[in-house]
């Protein structure tokens, strides 16, 4: 009996190729006809090498094109995303997804598979873009963060860059087929941080995971107006961890 050989894993590219730069520019032009997009904050502090987790709030279908086209070209690095497999069935969107750093995840698939893929991306030194809430907000305010991002950061030691997006929900709320033109979408980038530098050292695994998730979400909440912070603007804190001065 011959031994079964493992299939080689796909090589994941890090660099931004010319067509991606052109696509990002086209998205920026298209978005300019819909709304004004402004980006501010610690953009230059996003690491240019090594593993990075960029964690943003998610309240609209506009978030991905806004963040991808405005942040990725400024870092010079290709972002890696985990996306639902249905995206790959759309003619143009599917091609962009397959070639633009999106990795398909089956609906209802075990979380462990998505976690292994995300961990591999970080272990290979890539930029992983995530929405810790796991889905779009129904009201435009921050929903409860899931623990997956915190566990990834704790296990890999990757720095986290928090990003707050404001105004995208008003332009294209969940359940609406087409966006409303007008207004402004604001993207605020926070300074990168490592969970190991922020959390108490005497926490057990469960407490560390919970505290890490809370910290990540509160760092994002500090980058959006108070009205948008949801539970992370009013909920009491169980543990003391450092946090930046809130914006607005």
DSSP secondary structure, 69-110, as one string: HHHHHHHTS-EEEEEEGGGGGSHHHHHHHHHTTEEEE-TT--
Residue 53 has pLDDT above 80, yes or no: yes
The pair of three-digit structure tokens given for residue 209, joined into one six-digit string: 């995971």
Alpha helix stretches (DSSP H) within the chain: 18-32, 63-75, 91-99, 111-123, 148-156, 168-171, 195-198, 205-221, 231-234
Sequence-distant (6+) residues with CB within 8 A of 84 are 104, 105, 107
Q: What is the pLDDT of residues 62-90, one digit of tens each?
A: 999 999 999 999 999 999 988 766 666 77
Sequence-distant (6+) residues with CB within 8 A of 236 are none
Q: What is the pLDDT of residues 133-192, one digit of tens each?
A: 988 998 999 999 999 999 999 999 999 999 999 999 999 998 898 898 999 999 999 999
pTM metric for this prediction: 0.86
d(CA 206, CA 136): 26
Is the CA virtual torsion 183, 34, 218, 52 positive or negative?
negative
What is the band of 37 on the pLDDT scale with cuts at 50, 70, 90?
very high
- Over residues 122-127, the mean pLDDT reads 95
The pair of three-digit structure tokens given for residue 34, joined into one six-digit string: 């819909």
Q: What is the pLDDT of residues 195-237, one digit of tens each?
A: 999 999 899 989 999 999 999 999 999 999 999 999 998 754 5
Q: What is the pLDDT of residues 16-32, one digit of tens each?
A: 889 889 989 999 999 99
Rg for the chain, CA atoms, rounded: 18
How much of the chain exceeds pLDDT 90, in percent?
64
The phi and psi torsions of 90 (rounded to 5 degrees) equal -85, 135
Beta bridge partners of 127: 52, 79
Nearest to 229 by CA among 54, 4, 13, 57: 57
């Amino acid at each position: 009996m011959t031994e079964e050989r493992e299939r080689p894993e796909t090589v994941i590219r890090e660099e931004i190729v010319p067509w991606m730069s052109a696509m990002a520019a086209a998205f920026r032009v298209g978005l300019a006809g819909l709304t004004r997009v402004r980006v501010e904050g610690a953009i230059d502090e996003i690491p240019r090498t090594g593993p990075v987790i960029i964690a943003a709030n998610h309240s609209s279908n506009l978030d991905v094109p806004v963040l991808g086209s405005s942040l990725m070209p400024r870092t010079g690095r290709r972002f890696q995303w985990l996306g639902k497999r249905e995206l790959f069935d759309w003619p143009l969107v599917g091609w962009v997804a397959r070639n633009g750093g999106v990795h398909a995840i089956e609906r209802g698939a075990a979380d462990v598979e998505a976690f292994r893929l995300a961990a591999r991306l970080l272990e290979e030194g890539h930029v992983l873009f995530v929405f810790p809430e796991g889905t779009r907000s129904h009201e435009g305010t921050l929903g409860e963060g899931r623990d997956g991002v915190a566990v990834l950061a704790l296990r890999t030691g990757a720095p986290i860059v928090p990003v707050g997006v404001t105004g995208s929900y008003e332009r294209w709320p969940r359940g609406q087929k087409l966006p409303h033109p007008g207004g402004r979408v604001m993207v605020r980038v926070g300074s990168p941080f490592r969970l190991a530098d922020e959390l108490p050292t005497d926490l057990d695994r469960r407490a560390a995971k919970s505290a890490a998730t809370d910290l990540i979400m509160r760092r994002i909440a500090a980058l959006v107006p108070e009205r948008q912070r949801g539970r992370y603007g009013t909920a009491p804190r169980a543990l003391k961890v450092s946090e930046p001065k809130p914006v607005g």
